[in-house]
Structure 1
Amino acid sequence: MDYQQAGVDLVNAEEAVRAISSAVRSTYNTQVLSDIGGFGGLYRLGDEGSGILVATTDGVGTKTEVARAAGRWEGIGQDLVAMCIDDLVCTGARPLFFLDYLAVGKNEPSLIATLVTSMATALHSTNTALIGGEIAEHPGTMAPDQIDLAGFAVGLMDPQAAIGVNRVRVGDRVIGLPSPNLRSNGFSLVRAVYTELLDHIRGGVASSEELFRYEQLIEPSVIYAPTVLTLTSNSLLHAASHSTGGGIVHNLARVIPDGLSAHIDASTWEWPKVFTDLMHDGEIPLSEMRSTFNLGIGMALVVDPAHVEAVLSSYPGSIEIGRVGEGTKRAQWS
């Protein structure tokens, strides 16, 4: 099975970006410092050298349907925060505030409280304020127990502390921060593989093995922002890449300059069991696994060789997974 068979057309996704590019760029002014495709949108507040606002937006995606199968909403707010804030810090920005958009089939106050409490707990860890949001009730278009959750984060970047493509050099090392689970990516494919399992969960007839697998799937995302912020403030990072949709290599390519290539050595770590089981159960090709899931590396950090030991010691289980050299492909498996 692959992503397209599960209903996600990545070719159309790329075509959609091309189709909107000119319209998006037509709105830019001289304060806009970024283009489509980065981890965040950059907007300079004043003259050159002024502070820069960075904004990101994302959603939980169809992991909400996995949560819905058993009414397990406690970690979904954390997933949302992780998807937005961990993108934001890949620019070197410090998060300031967050807003959420919550669409529901039926407004159940206890469900709303659970979701927002989950967000608030996660935001505390990044010192980010939840300053607003929207609750939209959509009867007739969503089932009473169905939700969709999206978020919007804004941070402030000191231009002197920015990290990213301009700092990456030949010889830099790539450090992977471990992810024990799927986080909040690739769940359309996950749901297609585990349709029967989720039906059993809904019906209350799941086996002990199925219950264990469900717990693996629903486990909330790790939040890497506090570690990345500390490393950035100590000038230990050249770049950071959040391994969301597209996997490790596709996202890492976003912070590697033309003429260089980050080579990722797949033999340097073992996949967590949830990934090997998913690959086996869904008969998913290796190429599809690599282009869809984080495979146990939730954040990839590009660092100077002199800083490798300091970065490795900053996060338990982190490991050197590659290095930067010359090349035509910005990132690749080796």
Structure 2
Amino acid sequence: MGDQGGEGAYAQAGVSIDRGNRWVEAIKPLARMTDRSGIVSGIGGFGGVFRPDFARYSDPVLVSGTDGVGTKLLVARWAKKFDGLGIDLVAMCANDIAVMGADPLFFLDYFATGRLEIEESLPVMEGLVKGCQEANMALLGGETAEMPGLYAPGDFDLAGFCVGIADREKIIDGKTIRPGDAVYGIASSGIHSNGFSLARRVLLEGEKVAPQSPVPFEPETTWGDLLVTPTRIYVSLMAGIREVLSVGAFVHITGGGLTENIPRILPEGTSVRVRTGSWPVPPIFSYIQEKGSIDLEEMLRVFNMGVGLVVIVPGREETALTSYLASQNERYWKIGEVVAGGGEVIYAG
């Protein structure tokens, strides 16, 4: 059969099988950089195969998570900086399973675009590899889809899926939280990957900031660099904390901010009182709040406000926690405490 009925016709419709094959060959060596024990087969087959080391766990359970990076994709395209998006994607997925006490094992990605441009898309995958290396996960497989007509030229979307492992009895689900427990905040690296629809409206549409323009409150940094700063991956930090003390809960502060995320792990009859002046809010959030005329209540419900991870511990573990965080040169603050209540965050000045 002639080529006109195969690659030629399909390519004319906007999908190139040959380009897809070149893409797979380009990312195979990148994926191999994430190799770790347990991989049986990886990218290129119908499915990735992984054999966990179940012997390390008395009652092993698998923990899974999936997420995307939201409209930060549009900011990356505006800034023409794509390498951080892969790190963002890994962070959003890996942090979510690590807060439950899981050790990440492997990662799968989904990359959809109107037309696959290998040179432009490769930095995304390079960032994905960096993220997987930091989270100690194998990039086991994924899906790349060209969908002309659904995505405009230059547009693409990302989604990720990860699997980890934990001892069933060591799952961290907040059940041991009690009134009087201490609540600590760990610094974020910036906006992370949530709230960008509002940030874009205020900064890109309202203030008309340009990617190469200096940031007023940080003149040595451009707006492009500041806004695409990758989300922190807290996996190794949480693993280290788990090794030295008993944790009531970890909370990954994503969409919904402190207001919506902390209640997800609170047992019945408890709330958390957060002192809003107990940590320094990074200037980017204050700038967005001022320029967008946004009240503090909404800011706390949209953005992480400088706190990317919350750790809740009983009082007897506070010294162990702060000593460990100091040994890791972490920026942290005691931001509140657990109180009796109905499962909400109560803000106090």
TM-score range, shorter chain: 0.7 to 0.9
- Say whether residues 1:208 and 2:217 are aligned partners: no
Q: What is the match of residue 10 of structure 1?
A: none
Cα drift, residue 273 of structure 1: 0.6
Give 2:274's aligned amino acid. Answer: I
- The unaligned stretches of length 5 or more in structure 1 are 1-44
Aligned residue among 278, 282, 304 for 1:272? 282
Question: TM-score, normalised on structure 2?
Answer: 0.77
Q: For the residues of structure 2 that align with 1:111 and 1:207, how far apart are their CA atoms?
A: 23
CA contact (8 A) 2:209 2:223 kept: no
Q: What is the match of residue 339 of structure 2?
A: 325
Q: What is the match of residue 174 of structure 1?
A: 183
Q: What is the match of residue 121 of structure 2?
A: 112
Q: For the residues of structure 2 that align with 1:317 and 1:243, how far apart are their CA atoms?
A: 16
Aligned residue among 66, 82, 87 for 2:91? 82
Q: What is the match of residue 26 of structure 1?
A: none
Aligned residue among 107, 128, 145 for 1:98? 107
Aligned residue among 228, 232, 252 for 2:262? 252
Secondary structure class of the residue paired with 2:70: coil
Q: What is the match of residue 127 of structure 1?
A: 136
Q: What is the match of residue 27 of structure 2?
A: none
Aligned pairs (5 A) from 1:59-78: 59-78=68-87
Cα drift, residue 61 of structure 1: 0.5
Q: 1:223 to 1:184 in 2, by over 3 A?
A: same
CA contact (8 A) 1:258 1:330 kept: no
Q: What is the match of residue 232 of structure 2?
A: 222
Q: For the residues of structure 2 that align with 1:121 and 1:198, how far apart are their CA atoms?
A: 33
Question: TM-score, normalised on structure 1?
Answer: 0.80
Cα deviation code 1:247-277 (max 9, x no counterpart)? 0131011111110111111111120011001
Q: For the residues of structure 2 that align with 1:185 and 1:82, how far apart are their CA atoms?
A: 12
Give 1:320's aligned amino acid. Answer: K
Q: For the residues of structure 1 that align with 2:206 and 2:123, how far apart are their CA atoms?
A: 25
Cα drift, residue 113 of structure 1: 2.0
Give 2:181's aligned amino acid. Answer: D
Q: What is the match of residue 263 of structure 1?
A: 273
Give 1:151's aligned amino acid. Answer: G
CA contact (8 A) 1:161 1:232 kept: no
Give 2:60's aligned amino acid. Answer: G
Cα drift, residue 317 of structure 1: 0.9
Cα deviation code 1:282-301 (max 9, x no counterpart)? 11111110110000000001
Cα deviation code 1:155-195 (max 9, x no counterpart)? 11102322122121221101100113100001111111123
Q: For the residues of structure 1 that align with 2:102 and 2:118, how far apart are their CA atoms?
A: 34
- The unaligned stretches of length 5 or more in structure 2 are 1-53
Number of residue pairs matched?
284
Cα drift, residue 233 of structure 1: 3.1
**Overall identity of the aligned pairs, in %:** 37
Q: 1:208 to 1:177 in 2, by over 3 A?
A: closer
Secondary structure class of the residue paired with 2:222: helix
- Say whether residues 1:56 and 2:62 are aligned partners: no
Q: For the residues of structure 2 that align with 1:233 and 1:120, how far apart are their CA atoms?
A: 26
CA contact (8 A) 1:51 1:159 kept: yes
Q: For the residues of structure 2 that align with 1:198 and 1:99, how far apart are their CA atoms?
A: 37
Secondary structure class of the residue paired with 1:91: coil
Give 1:318's aligned amino acid. Answer: Y
Q: For the residues of structure 1 that align with 2:248 and 2:155, how far apart are their CA atoms?
A: 41
Q: For the residues of structure 2 that align with 1:290 and 1:130, how far apart are their CA atoms?
A: 34
- Say whether residues 1:307 and 2:313 are aligned partners: no
CA contact (8 A) 1:175 1:322 kept: yes
Q: In angstroms, what is the RMSD of aligned CA positions?
A: 2.0
Cα drift, residue 101 of structure 1: 0.5
Secondary structure class of the residue paired with 1:167: coil
CA contact (8 A) 2:245 2:321 kept: no
- Say whether residues 1:142 and 2:156 are aligned partners: no
